[in-house]
Chains A and B, each alone.
Chain A
Amino acid sequence: MLKLNTSFSRKVQGESQFTSRGYLASVELELPDGLTQEQIKSRIRDAFGLVKTSVEDEISKDGNGNPKASMEFASSAPERKERVLASTKQVKYLSDLAREKGMKAESLAMQRFGVGVFELSKKECSDLIDELGGKRKAA
């Protein structure tokens, strides 16, 4: 049995300068035995056409190359709806508070949430500030 793997990928400009979005579609098909070389080529052309069209359809959804729905592969990060990164001010407050108590904010963030201090969300940072006895003054 023959296996056919075909994929197509394209990058378009992202929402801000110097960023891009990537699209990738990939299919794997099993081909029956006994196909001639021409028939195999034809199947490959069809499969490639399918993934190429799918990618281009997704890209052109809003008409100017800036995608609305995407099969984005730029990051393996999970979706984090409504999550916002902690502000620089918040992180500084947490770091100062931790230092006053003889601790390191980076280690605290890592122990508590498994991420670095600059990767905390607003809420996570506030929670740590609360735990250290600080006031939620930094936003």
Chain B
Amino acid sequence: MKPMSPWRLEEYGQRPHWSFSQLNTFISICSLRYAFQHVFKAEHEFTSVNLVFGKAFHAVAEWIARQRKAGIAVTVAETEELFSEYWKVESKAAENVRYESESQKDVLDATGRKMAICLLESWPVDEEVIEVSMPFCVPVIAEDGTLASEKPIIGEIDCVVKNPRDGVVILDWKSAARRWPADKAVKDLQATCFTFAYTIKQNLNPKFRFDVVTKAKTPSYEQHCTERTADDFSRLVQMICVMEKAVKAEVFMPNMTSFYCDDCSFQGSCREWHRCKSKVYSFGKAA
């Protein structure tokens, strides 16, 4: 396998870029949230506890994968202990975390420990870990080979594994409040972005799998495997081109029915949005 990236994600992030997170925010969550975050550079009013929890879970998943790659056996005790450590570190590092109750921190610690064990015990043992945390930065190439955008797509792949059933597979770890619908992975834009990047870099279009652990008293582990075609990539490129035009024209609208509203860290700015002229707002903050 070719080395995926000679640079770190933070280095790529210093130049103008696209990312799955940006696309998802603009297309699936709320274009006004995208504007507050990426155009107006508004301050986050709080940090979502789900974001902090997801980071801690992700960190322990990454650690499990690194241990497996190094051939080091991992115990249940050290895995759950490590989750607690990450949870402490992440919740301390995050500013103004909004907890639902005083006990939520402890409840989430207990849940996260169980989820970490669930992942450790459920992850198929026949999977060979090829890479962990692979940053990428690829051009948005149209079908005719030309650059469709001056900005590249950047991101970081959680893990790449190889197994006897599917060959090379890109993995993405998710902690989810509930089980995923069967068709979620098929439609998911992250799978498209990441397989697009991997295909450009490695000249190989692999399968993509979400390894989802549910955030429950008794967590469950689910695999949602999917794949993408050249036509899906072509559609992605077209979506980026249209989004680029919309961002340039400042077409930002609140999505009043977004599932994300309760967790959105720009709720105050959103409430005030229609009372401000958007042009004035963007001139003031974007400079």
Contact = CB atoms under 8 A, between A and B. Distances in A.
A binds B: yes
Interface of A: 5, 7-16, 19-20, 22, 24, 26, 65, 73-78, 80, 85, 87-88, 91-92, 95, 99, 104-106, 114-119
Contact of B82 (A9, A26, A95): A9
B90 A77 contact: no
Contacts, number: 96
Greatest chain A CB density within 10 A among B3, B7, B133 is at B7
A93 to B, nearest CB: 11
SS of B interface (majority): mixed
A116 B137 contact: yes
B151 A88 contact: yes
B287 interface: no
Interface in B133-172: 133, 135, 137-139, 141, 145-147, 150-152
Contacts of B13: 16
Interface residues of B, number: 45
Interface of B: 2-3, 5-16, 55, 59, 62-63, 66-67, 70, 72-73, 78, 82, 85-86, 89-90, 93, 131, 133, 135, 137-139, 141, 145-147, 150-152, 200-201
A88 B73 contact: no
B93 A13 contact: yes
In this complex, which of A22, A65, A75, A80 has the most chain B Cβ atoms within 10 angstroms of its Cβ? A75
A116 B7 CA distance: 11
